[in-house]
Amino acid sequence: MNKSLVSGLVLLCFGVVCGLLLAIVNHFTAPVILANEQRVIRETIRTFFADVDDYDLEEIELEGDLEMAYLLKDKTTGAVHAAVYRVSAVAYNGRVNMLIAIDQELVVAGYSFIDNSGTEGLGLNLANLDFGMGDKPIAAWAVEFDTIAGATITSQGYAPAYDGGVRNCFALVAERVGTDFGGDA
Amino acid sequence: MNQKENFFKGFVKENPLFVSVLGMCPSLAITTKVENAIGMGVAVFFVLTLSNLVISLIMNSKFLRDLVKPVRIPVYIIVIASLVTIVEMVMHAYFESLYKSLGVFIPLIVVNCIILGRAEAFASENKPLDSAIDGMGMALGFTFAILIISLFREILGSGMITIWGDAALDLGFIFEFLRISPIDIFIKPVGAFLSFAFILATVVAIRSAGDRRKAKAGADK
C-alpha cells in the first residue's frame, strides 16, 4: 500500500482514539464548567438584583456590540422581570465594556464596568453613581448621561469621546429592551 | 543507569531548566507566584509522565513502531496535545482560579521542548517503565526549578509566598524591619530574566566548584 496513505491512516487512527478520549473527559468536565460559569454570572447579577435566585435565568447571545442579554424570568409565568446586558462601545482611547441592568419599568437598576482601557483610573469607579439620572428611563440615559458636566475645558476635551462611548452602550441597550420586555423604551 | 539514577538525574545532573535550558517560555512567564509554579508543575508532571509512557508503549511494539516511525513527530504531538487538553479541561472545571492565572501557558505545554525532547530522546528508545520514571524525574526537576524561580521572584517582588488559594505567607514584616518596599520589578517580565540569570549563574558556579573539587581530588589520587 502507498506509504503516504498508510501514514495518513495511522494519523487518522491516533486522532480518532485521542478524540474519543477527549470526548469522554469532556463529558465529565463540561457540566462542571457550565455550572461554574452560571454561578459567576448569578453572582454578578446579584449585585444588581439580590433576588436573582427567585427567577429563571435565560442567556441570549446577541451579535455586534451588544454581546449578551441575561433575562430574569418569572418561574411560573415566564414574564421578564429584569435584564442585564453585556455591551461595549468605542470610548476615550479604547473600548468601554459595561454591564447594564434594567428593571421591568425600563429604568437603569445599575451598571458596572467590566473593562475600561481608556480611563481606568476614573472609568472603573463610575459605577453606582447616577450623575443625577435617578429613575429616568434607559432611553434618557442614552442621551443625557454626563459624567463631567461643568468640568474644566481640558477635561471637556475627552468628554464627547468618553461619555459618547458610555451613552452608546446605553443606546444599544435602549434599542434592545423593547424586544426583551415588550413595548417601547 | 539504574532506576534510581534515572529518576534523580532530572533534579540536578540533567535538570531541564538549569542544565538543558529547555521550556524557558512558561517558566519565565508564570513564575510570578509560587501557586502558579505548583500548578504548572503538576500539569507538566501529568503530561510528561503519561506522554513518555504512551510513546514508549507505542515504540516498543514492533507492529506499531514500523507504522508510526515515518510520522512519529506528528503522532507525539497528537498524544501530547490530547494529554494537555485533558489537563486544561480538568483545570478549567475544578481549579478555575489557577486555570485563569496560568492562562495561555496551559495549552502551550504542547510545544514545551522538554516534553517533545524527552519523547524523542528517551521514551522512543527505552522501555515503558523507564520512560515513565524518566518523565516523573524530569517533571519534578522542572517543578523544582520553577519553584525556586517563583520563590525568588514572589518574595522579592511581592513580599509574600502564595502557596495555594488563600493560603499565603506574608513576609511584609521582613521588609518593614529592613525599612524597604518589595522590589516590584521582580514580578514584571524583566524581573523574570534577571531572576533566571541570578539563579542560573549560582547553579553554574556551584557546579563548576564541584567539578573543580572532583578534578582536584582525582589529580591528588
Q: Each residue of A76-112: pLDDT tens digit?
A: 888 888 888 888 887 766 777 788 888 888 888 888 7
- Copy the grid coordinates of residue B158: 511581592
Taking only the tens place, the pLDDT of each residue in A110-158 is 887 776 655 555 555 555 566 666 667 777 776 666 665 555 555 555 5
Q: How large is the ipTM?
A: 0.80
Comparing alpha-carbon positions, the chain B residue that sits nearest to A18 is: B82
Q: How many Cβ atoms from other residues are within 10 Å of residue A177's Cβ? A: 22
Higher local confidence (pLDDT), B60 or A123: B60
Same domain, A15 and A61: no
Q: Between the ranges A17-26, A110-119, B196-205, B212-221, where is the mean pLDDT highest?
A: A17-26
How far does B77 lie from chain A, in Å, by closest CA?
10
Residue A14 forms contact with B (CB below 8 Å): yes
Same domain, A7 and A81: no
Pick the residue of A1, A3, A5, A7 with the most B CBs within 10 A to test the interface with B by mutation: A7
Question: Which chain B residues are Cβ-neighbours of A7 within 8 angstroms?
Answer: 70-71
CB A70 within 8 A of CB A83: yes
CB B6 within 8 A of CB B12: no
What contacts A136, CB < 8 A, 6 or more positions away?
Answer: A107, A108, A144
pLDDT at B84: 95
How far does A25 lie from chain B, in Å, by closest CA?
7
Residue A26 forms contact with B (CB below 8 Å): yes
C-alpha neighbours within 13 Å on the C-beta side of residue A142: 19
| Strands, E assignment, chain A | 55-61, 66-74, 80-91, 94-103, 108-116
Same domain, A57 and A21: no
In 3D space, the residue among B5, B11, B61 whose CA is nearest the CA of residue B41 turns out to be B11
Question: Which chain A residues are Cβ-neighbours of B91 within 8 angstroms?
Answer: none
Which residue, chain included where needed, has cell 496560568?
Answer: B102
Same domain, A63 and A136: yes
Which residue, chain included where needed, has cell 524525574?
Answer: B137
Same domain, A42 and A70: no
Q: How many Cβ atoms from other residues are within 10 Å of residue A160's Cβ? A: 11
Taking only the tens place, the pLDDT of each residue in B64-97 is 888 888 899 999 999 999 999 999 999 999 988 8
Same domain, A115 and A168: yes
In 3D space, the residue among A82, A60, A72 whose CA is nearest the CA of residue A138 turns out to be A82
Question: What's the burial of B80, exposed, middle or buried (CB within 10 Å: 0-12/13-18/19+)?
Answer: buried
Same domain, A64 and A155: yes
Which residue, chain included where needed, has cell 420586555?
Answer: A181
Number of domains present in the structure of chain A: 2
pLDDT at B52: 94
Longest dimension (CA), chain A: 82
In 3D space, the residue among B109, B112, B146 whose CA is nearest the CA of residue B34 turns out to be B146
DSSP at B143 = H
Q: Do A10 and B67 touch (CB under 8 A)?
A: yes
Q: Do B81 and A26 touch (CB under 8 A)?
A: no
Domain of residue A38: give its range: 1-46
Same domain, A30 and A91: no
In 3D space, the residue among B51, B30, B50, B32 whose CA is nearest the CA of residue B40 turns out to be B30
Pick the residue of B69, B77, B86, B98 with the most A CBs within 10 A to test the interface with A by mutation: B86
Domain of residue B167: give its range: 3-220
Question: What's the burial of B33, exposed, middle or buried (CB within 10 Å: 0-12/13-18/19+)?
Answer: buried
Number of domains present in the structure of chain B: 1
Taking only the tens place, the pLDDT of each residue in B130-174 is 999 999 999 999 999 999 999 999 999 988 888 887 788 888 888
Using a pLDDT cut of 70, give the percent of chain A over it.
Answer: 73
How far is residue A148's CA from residue A143's CA, in Å, rounded to a whole number? Answer: 14
Q: Do A33 and B93 touch (CB under 8 A)?
A: yes
Q: Do B89 and A29 touch (CB under 8 A)?
A: yes
How far is residue A146's CA from residue A130's CA, in Å, rounded to a whole number? Answer: 9
DSSP at A107 = B
